[in-house]
Chains A and B, each alone.
Chain A
Amino acid sequence: MPIREDVLVVGGGMAGATAALSAARTGASVRLVSYRKPTFRQASGLVDLLGYVPERTDGDTSGDVEGGTDGSGSDTGGRSSGPVANPYDALSVLPDDHPYSVVGDDAVREAFDLFDEVAGDLYVGSHTDANALLPTHGGTVKPTARYPVSAAAGVASDDRSMLLVGFEGLTDFDAPLAAQHLRAAGVPFDVEGVQVRFPIRFRADAKVTRYARALDRDEEAARRRLVSRLEDHVESSGAERVGFPALLGDEQPATVREDLADRLGVDVFEVPMGPPSLPGMRLEDRLYAALDEAGVRMTTGNPVVDYEGEETDEDAGSVRINAVLVDHKNNRVPYHAEQFVLATGGLVGKGITSSRERVMEPVFDCYVPHSEDRYDWSRADAFGDHPFARFGVVPDGELRPTTADGEAQFENLRAAGGVLGGADFAAEKSGSGVSLATGHVAGRTAGESV
């Protein structure tokens, strides 16, 4: 029996998952096809909306934004002024080609409402429009809109004193260094850091998942022994909250956290880390459970490599996609649908690829604007305004990828998330937010068009 759905979503990251959910809520039947693991395990688990409005050097400069800094933030390497306190207010100063501008403020709010509903007690932040500043494993703070409940006690605008704990063999987080850095960042609380030995001896460079599992299962009474190593430090620093690198449990994070908090007698939180990111993976699990519940069918592990389409109106040159072709061991299997959503990610997810000559979108060969000279793809300054960070397809008002002439390339294809151009999520701190907002709109309109 041929595979046929109302809506088919390509890509299972934040954008694809959101699109599939929103499409399913219109009553459409939905399938999600995803190739490799999406970027959840690489991302911190923080769900950013908009943390900075970086200045563009291509003349398309955005408006002036007053953020949470005092003064205008003039000389910051040409990058941006300080972090934005209220992201919703800052949306209006983004350039017209930014994905947020394309979908509009209301869509952003709806998408975050959807996120809050799905994430439930796993995330915090819906009580306010304001950004929160969360400590990073690099030792500073970063603005974000939603944060894992496991990280909540770490918010930097809370003035309770803090103790950070690092583990000697874990090179990605040096707690005393991070504490000194946080003080340099001007946080409004006392902060100390201490490196201790994890109570269980692993091989020298065990992954965070190994630590997490040991805490989950409380191997060799790890939790109690960890606490006994920390009690004196908590006591002497007078800390009212204690932060650990994000490894407090893989399967039982709430239990691990509560147990440590009970024994220490203070709040306990996680500092988000790089890959493999446990908070990111917990979010992935939660979203996939929601997809399951919504009846979304999943096909993972095989890439979409091509499509079958037909011209519907020769004069207008309008093309309709009938099916995408999924590579199963070199066998191309057609997956039919009425509507399609492209959510294959950006350069990291391989939704956008490049060669020495050009930048492309490999599945539908959508138009991706870029300079002919590859030296113009980046700036000499390491954190400059890199055009490559904004590479992606150009959407019309309905998020349909357009040709170089600005016409929708296909009647029934919409794009969402990292595959869209126009946003530098790393500089803006807008990654998940863009995926949520555009995923929601693309999925909903796809579902409604069936």
Chain B
Amino acid sequence: MTTAPTVLVLGGGSTGCGVARDLAMRGFDVTLVEKGNLTHGTTGRMHGLLHSGGRYAVSDKASARECIQENRVLRRIASHCVELTGGLFVQKAEDDDAYFEEKLQGCRDCGIPAEVLSGREAREMEPYLAKDVKRAIRVPDGAVDPFRLCVANAASAEEHGARVETHSEVTDVLVEDGEVVGVEVEHKSGSGPRVHGKPGETEELYADHVVNATGAWAGQVGDLAGVDVEVRPSKGVMVVMNSRQVDTVVNRCRPKGDADIIVPHETACILGTTDEEVEDPEDYPEEGWEVDLMIDTLSELVPMLKDARTIRSFWGVRPLYEPPGTGTTDPTDITRDFFLLDHGERDDLPGMTSIVGGKFTTYRLMAEKISDHVCELFGVDADCRTADEPLPGSEDAAVLDDYMDAFGLRSPIGRRSSQRLGSKAESVLGDWQGPNPVVCNCEAVTRAEFADALSDSGTDLNAARLRTRASMGNCQGAFCCSRMAAELYPNYDEPVVREAYDELYAERWKGERHALWGEQLSQAMLKYALHATTMNADGDPARLDDPVDYAAFDAGPDAVDVDAGEGGDTGRTDATADGGRPIRDEAGEEVDDADS
């Protein structure tokens, strides 16, 4: 082999980033294209449960075994993205004993460490559990930060020579002589990180092979190539609570059902979820009753949730797949397994492979399988190393604690910041010149950390937000949206900063709206007042179409004095002397003898 085969990976979710890393490590020349930022799709809108496999231990033992295996791998290679919270399957008085036993047996069959706790023991671990909790099974569930994990994979891919293009949408699949030879992409603002306000351009990318890892969108990309990929997108809601009401992942121990899991994340807790098929992965109803269902049902397990503060809600769509002809009607019955579709074999269209289904926890395994397949196609003999090589940022977990008070950062800010950064903490915080104030107080994100995130995300503040968690806390960006935007300056000009701020503000509002009552509604009013009243972001003349006639407004008491003294043309307006411009001034004449 003289030059490495080129592979195009479509989709920057966990699967695509995982595939890009694996193939790059095996010597392929990889380009990844993603239409939004990394994790724009389902990966950025999921629960963040690092499955132990317990949830599948009764219904889908194969998936359960994969989960526990990958759970162990991720704890090793991505320690800075994973929090080992542990998990509980909790049985309430009214829940079925037989199912509890089945779950326990299933865990043991699949090699998932499982221990039974009495109700009292469970409540000692989680004091806010309902009084009538009967028993619980303890398993090694965890919490995983999908954005950091994806970014770490993409960074590793880049270290191995891959090119990663975000904000680049595949608009066509190029087919020549019955074979896929590449794709056409539309870069939102040119190649590289997105910059607001910069015009886009299209590019044709050719490659020896294309991997379609666009998740719930895989059907749409299939359409572009003229093949059927039968994904069945299924939506689920997640509700973010203001504090960590539980420190362990809490599952309800009963056969599959809605609203049966609580996952602690950093300073918050996420309730989930539902499972309902939708037509379009990007346009589906988000409904209030789904949010209510989470709170009502899960407060049976943890009663204090009933009166706790909800911060926001979001929805994601599962990229479920079922082979043609299976005909399952209830989406909850569709397998969680993943499928590799070789379009050469299946549709007589060589040059492209799709990977569909699966779940986040097993992304690495999915990537390994598809990379094996690509190697086989090209006769490349290279072993998968992704299970053994730690991801960037996690090489040395012990080093984190040393940053507690280093770099002039106060703990817990220093601790949280260095935990997020992993082994990059030294270079990001240590090399920082100048003051390092906190940009986001709720999540303890400092200027240095935010600048590091911005260096990869262009002017896409949402990408930097997901990476650092800035603006994700209790205040929902009330205090930090404008600070985050200001951090773009002077690398970018003011109009770009303004556009980036507007987009971030709108994006935050979208999630907030679903949880708008009680404390959160008061918070929303405060945020609105800070941005509209104090800063006047909504009535900003720079954002309005029509210029403001400054001369019609008060120029200060001295201006009046001077003008009253006749002829004293100081260049200031005299329009104020008679109270400014009359509101129904048809002619608009009496105002405009002022200059400036």
Contacts and interface: CB of A to CB of B under 8 A. Distances in A.
Same complex origin of A and B: yes
A331 interface: no
B533 A350 contact: no
Given A131-B554, A383-B537, 19 more contacts: A67-B581, A69-B541, A69-B546, A69-B547, A69-B549, A127-B554, A130-B580, A140-B543, A142-B535, A153-B556, A171-B437, A177-B497, A274-B534, A347-B522, A350-B522, A374-B288, A388-B521, A426-B538, A429-B533
A158 B518 contact: no
A66 B553 CA distance: 13
Interface in A73-130: 73-77, 79-86, 88-90, 93, 124-125, 127-130
A66 B447 CA distance: 43
Contacts of B596: 157, 159, 188-189
A356 B292 contact: yes
Enumerate the 7 nearest inter-chain pairs by beta-carbon distance, A residue then B residue, closest first.
A130-B580, A138-B535, A89-B583, A129-B579, A142-B536, A132-B554, A180-B494
A378 B515 CA distance: 11
A176 interface: yes
A431 B533 contact: yes
Contacts of A427: 532, 538-539
Interface of A: 42-44, 48, 51-52, 65-77, 79-86, 88-90, 93, 124-125, 127-133, 136-143, 152-153, 155-159, 168-172, 174, 176-177, 180-181, 184-189, 197, 203-205, 272-275, 346-348, 350, 353-356, 373-375, 377-378, 380-383, 386, 388-389, 425-427, 429, 431
B581 A86 contact: yes
25 contacts: A51-B539, A52-B539, A68-B548, A68-B550, A83-B553, A85-B580, A128-B577, A128-B580, A139-B535, A140-B535, A141-B548, A153-B556, A157-B552, A158-B572, A159-B596, A176-B490, A186-B548, A186-B550, A203-B408, A274-B535, A353-B518, A374-B516, A378-B524, A389-B528, A426-B533
A356 B517 contact: yes
A176 to B, nearest CB: 6
Interface in B171-185: none
Chain B, interface size category, equals: 35 or more
Given A356-B292, A382-B505, A181 B542 contact: yes
Nearest to B558: A158
A382 B506 contact: yes
Given A69-B549, A157-B553, A203-B410, A85 B583 contact: yes
B532 A141 contact: no
Contacts of B509: 382
Given A152-B556, A171-B437, A180-B494, A383 B582 contact: no
A381 to B, nearest CB: 8
Contacts of B555: 132, 155, 157-159
B474 interface: no
Main secondary structure of the interface of A (DSSP, over half): loop
A210 B29 CA distance: 55
Contacts of B434: 168
A93 B493 CA distance: 39
A389 B533 CA distance: 12
A86 B580 contact: yes
A272 B410 CA distance: 29
A71 B580 contact: no
A187 B526 CA distance: 28
A205 B437 contact: yes
Nearest to B307: A355
Nearest to A124: B557
Contacts of A348: 522, 525-526, 529
B518 A356 contact: yes
A372 to B, nearest CB: 11
Contacts of B124: none
Interface in B254-311: 288, 292, 295
B544 A73 contact: yes
Interface stretch (B7-15, B85-93, B196-204, B478-486): B478-486
Contacts of A186: 541-542, 547-548, 550
A138 B536 contact: yes
B17 to A, nearest CB: 30
A165 to B, nearest CB: 15
B439 A68 contact: no
A74 to B, nearest CB: 7
Contact of B539 (A137, A172, A203, A429): A429
Nearest to B581: A85
B292 A130 contact: no
A66 to B, nearest CB: 6
Nearest to B544: A76
Contacts of A177: 486, 489-490, 494, 497
Contacts of B292: 356
B382 interface: no
Contacts of A174: 486, 489
A382 B536 CA distance: 13
Contacts of B513: 375, 378, 380
Given A158-B559, A356-B292, A374-B516, A43 B573 contact: no
Contacts of B435: 168-169, 197, 204
A71 B516 CA distance: 37
Contacts of A93: 583
A143 B553 contact: yes
A430 to B, nearest CB: 9
Contacts of B151: none
A168 B433 CA distance: 12
Given A140-B536, A177-B489, A377-B521, A82 B548 contact: yes
B436 interface: yes
Contacts of A158: 555-556, 559, 572
A132 B497 contact: no
Nearest to A65: B583
A408 B553 CA distance: 40
Nearest to B488: A177
Given A42-B529, A181-B494, A354 B288 contact: no
B539 to A, nearest CB: 5
Contacts of A204: 408-409, 435-438, 446
A424 B39 CA distance: 37
Contact of A84 (B498, B551, B583): B583
B437 A138 contact: no
A213 B486 CA distance: 26
Q: Which residue among B482, B521, B582, B583 has the maximum number of chain A CB atoms within 10 Å of its CB?
A: B583
A171 B581 contact: no
Contacts of A389: 525, 528
A431 B207 CA distance: 61
B548 A83 contact: yes
A69 to B, nearest CB: 4
B575 interface: yes
Contacts of B534: 43-44, 136-138, 272-274
Given A158-B556, A180-B494, A186-B548, A66 B583 contact: yes
B541 A82 contact: yes
B540 interface: yes
Contacts of A69: 541, 544, 546-549
